[in-house]
Amino acid sequence: MSLSKESTIAELKRNFIVGYRNIKDEKYAGNSGVHPLDGAAVGTTNGAGPHNVQMFILSADGTVLHCLPGYWQSDDLNCELELAKRLNTVWLDKAMKLSDKKQLFVRLHKEHAQAHSDELRARSQLQGFDAMHIYEHRHELADCISDKEALKAVQDPHKGVPIEAFKTTDQIMHSRLAEQPFVSYKSFDVEKFADYGCQYYDREERKLAENPYDHAYRKRSLRELTASHDPLPKPQIRTEKAAPLSLKQEYIRAISGQNWRLALQISEKLIFENRQRPQAQPFEMRALACLKLNMKSEAANSARRAIYLGAKGQGVRLVLNKAQSNCI
């Protein structure tokens, strides 16, 4: 999930096929308060909302190359897409052993994390409530902590916990991806990967005067609201409508199917459309159709007309010879 930016959209259109899967029934999926449909989209920190969205980047066979949890700033997302493309090249390299590919996967993710700028890491700070969640589950989520001693010194967590004691979300992401090198999408442990923040968060937007809510929305979560409706329809694959066939393409299809009567009709339509400036090819097309329909005299006349208009191929002369040899 990211705010729209032309460079990111162009990159996705150029190099990726984009789809989605509704995860609301998965046990790891997040829940939240409601946000008005006409409410403004806003940016946040990288990795916010890991239970709500996971942006998987897969190879064509469904192998996980990358996964970005939650929201990501567009420019930072672009950098991660570049890493995914490099990893795809590694995965498709038939000269490499699987073990070597996995080692390179781990190394590239770790090197990428180390190369992240201070600015990117600043954009990837944990949300305060997510940091508190990790503090409360610090034994299970020890891999999210960079300074355990700083957390031990906390006397009253209700007054806040030192944010610098926690890894930034970009570091958590790459570290956890390195634990699952080149696994299939079906085998990827999403629950473990996305578990570093609160599973429920409510900004209580329904209480804001500028965003009034219907009474039915009050004190209800997004999960409760969506559960009361019919399930979302499965995403439809949008296919581009094929451009209509030209008359010449229809003619080729007709003769491929040995439909000579239709081929004759199409050729005559072409002749009519070009009646102001006659062309050789429609008459050549008509000559062949007439010959196949045993209309030898008509075939000969059309072939002569085609030659007169400039047809130089051997095909039209062959049609003329066959038609003339059988004309009475």
Cβ contacts of residue 298 below 8 Å, gap of 6+? 286, 290
Structural domains of the chain, ranges and CATH numbers in brackets: 6-125+168-227 (no CATH), 247-326 (1.25.40.10)
Are the C-beta atoms of 283 and 274 separated by less than 8 Å? Answer: no
Angle at alpha carbon of residue 263, lines to 259 and 264, rounded to 5°: 120
Distance CA 296, CA 125 (A): 84
Q: Which two tokens stand for residue 215?
A: 């009474």
Query: What pLDDT is recorded for position 234?
Result: 54
Q: What is the pLDDT of residue 328?
A: 39
Span 291-320, average pLDDT? 88
- 160 sits in the region (left: phi over 0; alpha: psi -120 to 50; else beta) called left
Q: Which of 7-11, 279-283, 312-316, 320-324 has the lowest mean pLDDT?
A: 312-316
- The closest alpha carbon to 296, from 276, 322, 314, 317, belongs to 322
Q: What pLDDT is stored for residue 209 in this prediction?
A: 45
Strands 64-69 and 54-58: antiparallel
Mean per-residue pLDDT for 146-175? 89
Q: What is the mean pLDDT of residues 168-175?
A: 96
**What would the pLDDT profile of 23-41 be if each residue is shown by its tens digit?**
888 888 877 666 666 666 6
The per-residue pLDDT for 97 is: 96
The 3-state secondary structure of 157-208 reads HHHCCCHHHECCHHHHHHHHHCCCCCCEHHHCCHHHHHCCCCCEECCCHHHC
Q: Which two tokens stand for residue 304?
A: 């002569």
pLDDT of res. 313: 81
Write the pLDDT tens digit of every residue in 93-137: 999 999 999 999 999 999 999 999 999 999 999 988 888 889 988
Residue whose C-alpha is closest to residue 323's, from 308, 310, 305, 309: 305
Closest-CA residue to 190 (of 72, 60, 18, 26): 26
Q: Is the pLDDT of residue 304 over 50?
A: yes
pLDDT of 210 reads: 47
State what percent of residues in the chain have pLDDT above 90.
39
Q: What is the mean pLDDT of residues 298-312?
A: 88
Q: For residue 181, give both structure tokens.
A: 């090198």
Q: What average pLDDT score do residues 296-302 get?
A: 88
Please answer whether residues 186 and 62 qualify as being in contact, where contact means their C-beta atoms are separated by less than 8 angstroms.
Answer: yes
Within 10 angstroms of residue 123's Cβ, the number of other Cβ atoms is: 21
Mean pLDDT of 205-233: 53
Decide: pTM greater than 0.85.
Answer: no
Question: Mean pLDDT score of the chain, rounded to an integer?
Answer: 84
For residues 27 and 199, give the distance between their C-alpha atoms in angstroms, rounded to a whole number: 10
Q: What is the pLDDT of residue 63?
A: 96
Distance CA 14, CA 8 (A): 10
State which amino acid sits at residue 194: A
Residue-level pLDDT at 286: 92
Closest to 46 (Cα-Cα) out of 147, 171, 151: 171
**What is the model's pLDDT at position 56?**
96
The four Cα atoms 76, 101, 10, 72 give a dihedral, to 10 degrees, of -30
Region of residue 106 (phi > 0: left; psi between -120 and 50: alpha; otherwise: beta): alpha
